[in-house]
Amino acid sequence: MLTDQTLMDIACLQRRIYASLTEISELTDQLSQALSRQDQVSVRLFLSMRREELDHLLAHRAALNLQCAQLPGDDSAALQQLLSGNDGSVPDSPGKAALLRQVKMNRSLLERICQADQAVSLRLGGRRSFYSKNAENAKQRRT
């Protein structure tokens, strides 16, 4: 059974992840504006700053994965279920409810970042962008 302390610790990590995601979102918006101005110096700066924040995000995710791995099997599986958003059960504690809210907020922000990143990447790289290449590869696999 996941303890309230464990849930609070994981929620804290999720809040750190949200803070990194928020910073990435803001930097992506600024990158988009720099692209609109055709300001190559700012574009490089914002790309670099985003890379640094992505590194912070990865460190938070690694800490989360480590904490999950250190839990006993059933607790680890239950936590993974909560973090995936596929739990489906009604939260039976304030800690679980808070964690589920934070996971939902993180997922929503991440989806918005992915959409903004795709738009920026396509403007920046055109046909050479990550998203164009993946779309072309997917099209080739279907045929």
Neighbours of 8 (CB within 10 A): 14
143: pLDDT strictly greater than 70: no
Ramachandran region of residue 85, left (φ > 0), alpha (ψ -120 to 50) or beta? left
Could you identify the residue written with the tokens 């920026």?
Answer: 120
What value does the mean pLDDT take over residues 15-21? 98
pLDDT at 138: 61
pLDDT band for 46, please (50, 70, 90 cuts): very high
Report pTM: 0.86
- Torsions phi, psi of 38, nearest 5? 55, 40
- Name the domain count of the chain: 1
**No. of helices (H) and no. of strands (E), the chain:** 5, 0
Residue range of the domain that includes 77? 4-142
CATH number for the domain including 91? 1.20.58
Could you identify the residue written with the tokens 């999950």?
Answer: 68
Could you identify the residue written with the tokens 């914002």?
Answer: 46
What value does the mean pLDDT take over residues 105-129? 92
128: pLDDT strictly greater than 90: no
